[in-house]
Amino acid sequence: MPFETWLAFAAASFVVLAIPGPTVMVVVGYALGEGRRAALGTVGGVLLGDLLAITLCALGLGALLAASATAFTLFKWAGAAYLVWLGVKLWRAPVDPQAVERAASGGGRRAVHGFVVTALNPKSLAFFVAFLPQFMTAGEAVLPQLAVLAPTWVLAAAVTNGGYALLAGGIRTRLRSAAVLRAINRVGGSFLIGAGVLTAAMRRA
C-alpha cells in the first residue's frame, strides 16, 4: 500500500471519527454519568466492536447486511432499544458518593456495553463496506491491506473517543453536589437515549 494512500486513510478516519455520532454520544454519556473510568472502558469495547466489524466486512458479511433490509432493521432496532435501556438506567442511577464511586469502577462492564452497542450497529458494517475499498489497491491481496487499515482506524478511534471521554469525565470530577451529579446523570442518560434515537433513525445507504 502506498504511503500516500495510508496517510489519506488516516486523515479521513480522524475526520469521520471526530464528528459526534451515536458512539461519541455513548462515550460522553457514560463519562458524564459515571466518570472517566467507565467511559474509557466503553471506548475499549467500542474498539473491539470496530475490529469485529472490519473483520466481518473482510468476510463479506457487511455487504450482505447492507443488502438485506430485514437484517438491517433487526440489528438497528435491537441496538436502539439497548441504548435507550442503558440511558434510562443512567437517568435513574443513584448519586450518593459511595454509589458514584462504585459506578465509576465499572469499566469492565462498560467495555461490554460499548462492544454490544458497536456490534449491534448495522451502519458500522455498511460504512466499512463503503469506506475501506476507497483506500485499497485493486489487484492486491485484501488481508495484508486490512492488516494496515484496521489498526490505523482503531488507533484513530482510540484517540478521538478517548479524548471525548477524558474531556467529559473531567467535567464530572469537578462537580460534587448531589443535585448537580443527579443533573449530570440525566444529561448523560439523555445522551444515551439520544444515541438510541439516532440509531433507530438510521437508514440503509
pLDDT tens by residue, 97-133: 554 444 455 567 788 888 887 877 766 777 787 777 7
Asked, for residue 61, whether it belongs to a domain, the answer is yes
Arithmetic mean of pLDDT, 11-30:
83
Q: Is residue 100 part of a domain?
A: yes
Q: Are 65 and 134 in contact (CB under 8 A)?
A: no
Residue 119 lies in a domain: yes
9 in a domain, yes or no? Answer: no
In a domain, 13, yes or no: no
Cα–Cα distances (Å) from 140 to 53, 135, 137, in that order, read 21, 12, 6
Number of domains in the chain: 1
Q: Would you give the DSSP letter of residue 205?
A: -
| pLDDT for 163 beyond 90 | yes
Residue that the C-alpha cell 458514584 belongs to: 100
For residue 28, the SS3 value is helix
Please give the residue range of the domain that contains residue 151.
23-201
Residues 6+ apart with CB under 8 A from 125: 53, 56, 57, 61, 62, 65, 66
Q: What residues have CB less than 8 Å from 102, skipping those under 6 apart?
A: none
